[in-house]
Amino acid sequence: MKKLRFYSVFSLITLLFALSANAQTWESFDTPVTTNLILYDISFPWGQETIGFTGGSNVTYNGKGKILKTEDGGETWEVVWESEVNGTGVTSIYFETELIGFAGTMGGDVMKTIDGGINWTVSDIDADQDQGEITDMDFYDSDNGALISQWNGIYTTADGGDSWTQASTNYFGGQDLAYADATTLFVVGGEQKIYKSTDGGDTWIYSYSGPNANMLWYNFGVFFLDADNGVVTSEEGQTFITTDGGDSWTLSTIAGQYGLMHGAWMLDANTIYVCATPGEVFLSTNGGTTWTSDNPQDFDPSYYKVKFTSNGTGFVCGSGATGGTILRKLPTVDGVNEMLVTNLNIYPNPANDQITLSFDEKVSGNYTLNIISSIGKLMYSEEYSSLLGKNSIRIDLNHFSEGNYFISLERANEVVLTEKFQIVR
């Protein structure tokens, strides 16, 4: 990332794996770097949990960059790119697929790879202006994305990062951004401010300021599960929760947290993770009403991002004197329903204008069919009633773009089957 996509993402995760949020613990994993490293961001392409990337810098300002990659779900990491040039420190990273990814730097450049991080091309998104640090970057789909530049505010792309356009009315000082749906974005930053865009990031309006805005406190993280539910992290335990798409925000304070809280993630409307400095992960299982510590506090590192993969595996990245910090929390399987649907088949695959989904049903009943994009956005959802035995559904794809998708069947709040297909035109 971190949205309409996150409704599908984490309803799918929660249902498929019946996550018990407290059952697993956060494990720490070493990197091959033996010197100081601050890992600012981490990204796992959607639809898999094996290949991931994290990026950072040796120091907090004008640093030298490194990008690390895992191909075994975070067990081991290797350096795939590094630079000895000041200003190349990586402050944001986003991978759309296992091959295509972007990284923003302290010097204001955007780097792109199309070969899984082996080679990177560097571009200056605005040759007429110095950008300062690229503090965050996110994409809604393979074409449409947005980033925050430290000095010049928000930029958007509609061509997969080939070109970037500065927002018409802008918010400067942003720290983090998030898509709530295809055209609605939120950005947070200085003076505890929250800004909202409803036109894909071109214009921005003020949404909210926290109670300590006059003390120049910052909001650092923002995440939206869907168009309604979102969370913002701030300082000294303050979080802000919305359930109405940012029309109103409710302050929720984590007792005993006296530092900066950077990252946030929602598995569903109730299950929220945030990470903080000093290093600690907090968890709410009631929509932010109360919070508990989900791992022991470590005063040495700062934690910057908490993110989850498509199978419900959590990752945290942060600083560390010897190679940065990477934590992982595995999902817990807790009573997945008996497989009532079998012999799922999608054809043709690849498809053009329509697909047919066929399956065998052991017990007739109602279920939900979801189609999810390769980066986790819910593209289609429909309720169906199945019959005992063979079932067949035809789905029109003319309103879908080319790309990879996942189709899932949910019954009684659990995903019983999921499968991947491709649209090619």
* DSSP assignments along 260-285, one per residue: EEEEEEESSSS-EEEEEETBEEEEES
DSSP-assigned letter for residue 213: G
Percent of the chain with pLDDT over 70: 90
Beta bridge partners, 29, equal 326
Give the total residue count for the chain: 425
DSSP-assigned letter for residue 401: P
The pLDDT value recorded for residue 300 is 87
The pLDDT value recorded for residue 332 is 61
Residues 422 and 373: their CA atoms lie apart, in Å, by: 10
The pLDDT value recorded for residue 413 is 64
- The span from the first CA to the last CA of the chain, in angstroms, equals 27
Indicate if the pLDDT at residue 84 is higher than 60. Answer: yes
**pTM reported for the whole predicted model:** 0.79
The pLDDT value recorded for residue 302 is 95
Beta bridge partners, 253, equal 238
Which domains does the chain carry?
4-329 (2.130.10.10), 341-423 (2.60.40.1930)
Query: What backbone torsions phi and psi does residue 8 show, to the nearest 5 degrees?
Result: -65, -40
Q: Identify the band that residue 143 occupies on the pLDDT scale cut at 50, 70 and 90.
A: very high
Token pair 């290797």 in the structure block, residue: 78
Q: Identify the band that residue 285 occupies on the pLDDT scale cut at 50, 70 and 90.
A: very high
Q: Which CB contacts under 8 angstroms, 24+ apart, belong to 246-255?
A: 246/180, 246/186, 246/194, 246/196, 246/207, 246/208, 249/194, 249/207, 249/208, 250/288, 251/210, 251/211, 252/284, 252/288, 252/289, 252/291, 254/282, 254/291, 255/291
> 11 or 146: which carries more pLDDT confidence?
146
Query: What backbone torsions phi and psi does residue 244 show, to the nearest 5 degrees?
Result: -130, 35
Indicate if the pLDDT at residue 85 is higher than 80. Answer: yes
Indicate if the pLDDT at residue 334 is higher than 60. Answer: no
What is the DSSP pairing of strand 230-233 with strand 221-224? Answer: antiparallel
Indicate if the pLDDT at residue 14 is higher than 60. Answer: no
Indicate if the pLDDT at residue 299 is higher than 90. Answer: no
40, 317 in Cβ contact below 8 A?
yes
Indicate if the pLDDT at residue 21 is higher than 60. Answer: no
Indicate if the pLDDT at residue 11 is higher than 60. Answer: no
Q: Identify the band that residue 360 occupies on the pLDDT scale cut at 50, 70 and 90.
A: confident
Q: What is the pLDDT of residues 245-278, one digit of tens each?
A: 999 999 999 999 999 999 999 988 899 999 999 9
The SS3 call for residue 405 is: strand
Question: Omega into 350 within 30° of 0, i.e. cis?
Answer: yes
SS3 content of the chain, % helix, strand, coil (to 5): 5, 50, 45
The pLDDT value recorded for residue 96 is 93
Indicate if the pLDDT at residue 37 is higher than 50. Answer: yes
Q: Identify the band that residue 228 occupies on the pLDDT scale cut at 50, 70 and 90.
A: very high
Indicate if the pLDDT at residue 8 is higher than 60. Answer: no
34, 66 in Cβ contact below 8 A?
no
- Residue 180's Cα: distance from chain center in Å? 12
Indicate if the pLDDT at residue 319 is higher than 90. Answer: yes
Average pLDDT over residues 375-389: 82
> 131 or 177: which carries more pLDDT confidence?
177
Output the average pLDDT for the chain.
88
Q: What is the pLDDT of residues 200-219, one digit of tens each?
A: 999 999 999 999 988 889 99
> 365 or 391: which carries more pLDDT confidence?
391
Look at the alpha carbons of 184, 185, 190, 193 in this order and tell me if their dihedral is positive or negative.
positive
Q: Identify the band that residue 6 occupies on the pLDDT scale cut at 50, 70 and 90.
A: very low
Query: What backbone torsions phi and psi does residue 17 show, to the nearest 5 degrees?
Result: -105, 0
Residues 312 and 322: their CA atoms lie apart, in Å, by: 28
Average pLDDT over residues 138-144: 93
